[in-house]
Amino acid sequence: MRLVLLGPPGAGKGTQSSRLATELRAVHLSSGDILRAERKSQTELGKLAQTFMDAGSLVPDDLILRMMICRISGPEASGGFVLDGFPRTIPQAEGLDERLAMLKRPIDRVVSINADDSVVSRRLTGRWTCPKDSSVFNESYSPPRRAGVCDLCGTALVRRKDDEPQVVSQRLTTYHAETRPLIDYYRGRGVLTSIDGNAEIDDVYARIVAACRGNG
């Protein structure tokens, strides 16, 4: 299956995508994870993208399209994919549709995980990450056993720059202005299903699976 997950930052796209990829025997392609890997490796793309990511802004369409199309066209995605964080703008969606039409592999389903700004803001600003093994914890939902320390390796946890309160606010503003219009874009193509992302993680997952199986 070729699936796109939409939703504001903090809606749970990453958590759900990982589970869905296993369920659907597809590859999970997270634009955020890929970009952060590029940035950590200090590639040309990573350096260029860093200024946009740190400010909570979207990476320019041409850069993100080039990177994601390369992954989608690769052999790892031949059995299907779950796109997490991409596309984020109408031009990105149009570019993706054009490329997939050439490959004769159109999007099967788009799931929009809808969540209130207050909910996602609390999720993001309370999130802490292990810089060594990338484990993620949350002050409210999944705190570490020892405050500020990774359960797995004992490394001090850090807050990502894009989870700082002022950056989260900017990310939400950007989402409403540039990404939310994708809901109407995909609704017009008859592939959209909307899910309540304020619900518990397992409930959200069950609803997405039902939608993918044609029951939602």
User: Which residues are known to be catalytic?
Assistant: 13, 88, 127, 160, 171
Q: What are phi and psi of 116, to 5 degrees?
A: -70, 150
Question: Helix axis angle, 61-72 relative to 44-54, nearest 10°?
Answer: 120
If you ran DSSP here, which 8-state letter would residue 179 be given?
A: I
Q: Look-up: residue for tokens 């099967």? A: 108
- Output the DSSP codes for 78-115: TT-EEEES---SHHHHHHHHHHHHHHT----EEEEEE-
Handedness of CA 209, 195, 166, 179 (dihedral sign): positive
Question: What is the pairing mode between strands 136-138 and 127-129?
Answer: antiparallel
